[in-house]
Amino acid sequence: MFYFAISIFLFANVSAFSAGPALRRPSALNVATKSKAPVFDEVCDTTGVTLKRFMTEVALLNPELQELTTLFGAVDTACKAITNLVKRSQLPSSETLGYEGNINIQGEDQKKLDVITNDLLKRALRFTGKLGVLASEEEDAPVDIAGPSKEVIIDESDRYVAVFDPLDGSSNVDAGIPTGTIIGIYEHDESCDIDAECEGDDCAEQEARCLANTLQPGDNLVAAAYCLYSSSTFLVLTLGSGTYGFTLDENLGEFVLSHPNIKIPDTSSIMSFNEANTHMWDEPLKDVVTNWKQGTGKSGEQFSSRYIGSMVGDVHRTLLYGGVFGYPGDSKNPNGKLRLLYEGAPMSFIMEQAGGLSTTGTQRVMEISPEVVHQRVPIVMGSKNDVEEVIEAYANWEK
């Protein structure tokens, strides 16, 4: 079950702060992104630093990102609350397992935890004081979440757009399989004016234009993050200058930096696919995976298979150990099953900032502009050399 939400965050101008010494400049991976990548110092590479301290330092060094501190404060709170919900979901008294009994806008049965976590994130983001508009699979047009009505509110100021999947992998939650939350933050690059006196179809048109403004390629992302609810609770983020992993210290009640500036190995011997669909894949991918299994691929290593079936869990392992995660297109689902805007693009941003690659086989995922909110996209991401082997196979197949 997948959920989607778009939140337009309204930001005021911020005053400048002086930057500290020993700045670390962004890598070449940032050249394609829309905004200037931030600079970090040694504080941001010190294990044990809390997420709050980390974001405060980022804001001091990059005043234009100060409002992201408020935003990630809400993400911090939401992830802590969701991890407690997930942990308690197995208890008979929790009443959070099973289906809600409703169908979302994509015709999918809603899990109870999908609904609960979606509402939780909405409340957390609302109380940042920056949230004006939200749209989800259940609220397909932007709505004012500050009140009970469906009246639309757009403030006249600069704004960010946040997209999220509140509980990725929720179909596995009844079995205690790892789940996660995926979040992407875009700049809002167009005006979104709605006449307060509009009625009926006129309002729908204006709301549709606001929603269309969110259909941006991943290259426009200014930040992305995921929370993984597993043996520990992890929060991994990028602000466009490297990928950083935090682990929840439950004694402190704080996320602390445990994996500074993550770098995925260039080559590995782990693959993570639903191999039950192999017979429906494109020939180039079939050939590459067959070679990996036999140890006749470019690395000469015989690959092993590790597949959870939860994107956040599989990508997290791939980031730390190296390897390739994929949910490719096939004859049954030519565009795969992962959503581009709020799953594929944010996770690709995180992967690329860690030195990996993400592709459809023929195109870089971050370069694709979604045409509709829930557009799906085939994805293969992971260690640079291994993903390049897939890209090369597709290139030779097309000749």
Largest CA distance in the chain: 67
Q: Which helix (H) or strand (E) holds 120?
A: helix 112-126
Does residue 21 register a pLDDT over 50? no
- Whether the pLDDT of residue 156 is over 70: the answer is no
Closest CA relative to residue 322, chosen from 285, 247, 269: 269
256 forms beta bridges with 50, 247
In whole angstroms, give the CA distance from residue 156 to residue 192: 8
Helix (H, G, I), strand (E, B) or coil at 7: strand
Q: Which residue has the higher pLDDT, 253 or 374?
A: 253
pLDDT at site 324: 98
Q: How far apart are CA 253 and CA 143, in angstroms?
A: 33
Q: Which helix (H) or strand (E) holds 10?
A: strand 5-11
Rounded to the nearest angstrom, the gap between the alpha carbon of residue 207 and the centroid of all alpha carbons in its chain is 24
Euclidean distance between CA atoms 118 and 279, whole angstroms:
36
Q: What is the pLDDT of residues 29-47, one digit of tens each?
A: 443 445 578 999 999 999 9
The per-residue pLDDT for range 337-359, each reduced to its tens digit, is: 999 988 999 999 999 999 999 99
Is 77:235 a contact under the CB 8 Å cutoff? no
In whole angstroms, give the CA distance from residue 222 to residue 65.
Answer: 9
Instruction: Please tell me which of 142-151, 208-217, 289-298 the model is most confident about, judged by mean pLDDT.
Output: 289-298
Least confident range of 147-156, 157-166, 246-255, 287-296: 147-156
Band (pLDDT 50/70/90 cuts) for residue 121 is confident
3-state secondary structure of 208: helix
What residues are paired with 245 via a beta bridge? 236, 259
DSSP character string of 67-99: HHHHHHHHHHHHHHHHHHHHHHTTSTTT--SSE
DSSP 324-357: EEEE---SS-TT-SEEIIIIIHHHHHHHHHTT-E
Please state the pTM of the whole predicted model: 0.84
What is the rounded CA–CA span in Å between residue 310 and residue 173? 10
Rounded mean pLDDT of 132-141?
45
Model pLDDT for residues 52-93, shown as the tens digit of each residue: 999 999 999 999 888 888 889 989 999 999 999 998 888 876
* Pairwise CA distance, residues 380 & 359, whole Å: 5
Contact 14/67 with Cβ under 8 angstroms? yes
Confidence tier at 248 by pLDDT (50, 70, 90) = very high
β-sheet bridge partners, residue 272 = 325
The predicted pLDDT at position 30 comes to 47
